[in-house]
């Protein structure tokens, strides 16, 4: 597996599904699991400390509310961690975003946007990182971007 796709709870899956679908499209292999930073601290530490030896190249971690999952995973692994803030009812995801983006110096979490755009961008960022050493993934990413350009140009024609 290239990517560990980790959620704080099963209720995060509908938000993370776009990440998984785009990883599939880009030919990036992944496993998915639920690890709660607050309810499963021992499992989180164990997973984080073993992720590299289990041949993951990076971790995408999605969480909402007091979203400590990405930061706690980052504290327990040398692998890059991409944080996906899940939109919450209480604060619209700002709580999740700030929990991830305001990491203290020394423990970075690459944080993407709140919601669906962030879920997709996490997959794209993962593909960019993996594509540095995997030509198939790099080709898939290039094709994806070329298709985006074609769609944008085609949409311009609809304005005439």
- Known binding residues for substrate: 9, 12, 39
Q: Which of 50, 93, 143, 72 is nearest to 31 (CA)?
A: 50
Radius of gyration of the chain (CA): 16
Question: Residues marked as binding?
Answer: 9, 12, 39
> Other CB atoms closer than 10 Å to residue 29's CB: what's the count?
13
- CA-wise closest residue to 77 among 104, 101, 55: 55
Cα of first residue to Cα of last residue in the chain, in angstroms, is: 46
Is the CB of residue 44 less than 8 Å from the CB of residue 81?
A: no
């Amino acid at each position: 597996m290239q990517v560990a796709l980790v959620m704080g709870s099963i209720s995060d899956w509908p938000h993370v599904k776009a990440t998984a679908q785009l990883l599939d499209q880009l030919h990036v292999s992944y496993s998915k699991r639920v690890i709660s930073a607050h309810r499963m601290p021992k499992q989180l530490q164990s997973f984080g400390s073993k992720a590299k030896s289990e041949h993951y190249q990076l971790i995408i971690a999605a969480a909402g509310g007091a979203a400590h999952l990405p930061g706690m995973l980052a504290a327990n692994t040398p692998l890059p961690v991409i944080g996906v803030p899940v939109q919450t009812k209480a604060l619209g995801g700002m709580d999740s975003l700030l929990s991830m983006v305001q990491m203290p110096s020394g423990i970075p979490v690459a944080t993407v946007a709140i919601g669906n755009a962030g879920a997709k961008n996490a997959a794209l960022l993962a593909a960019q990182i993996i594509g540095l050493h995997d030509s198939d993934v790099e080709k898939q990413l290039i094709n994806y971007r070329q298709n985006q350009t074609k769609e944008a140009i085609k949409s311009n024609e609809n304005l005439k």
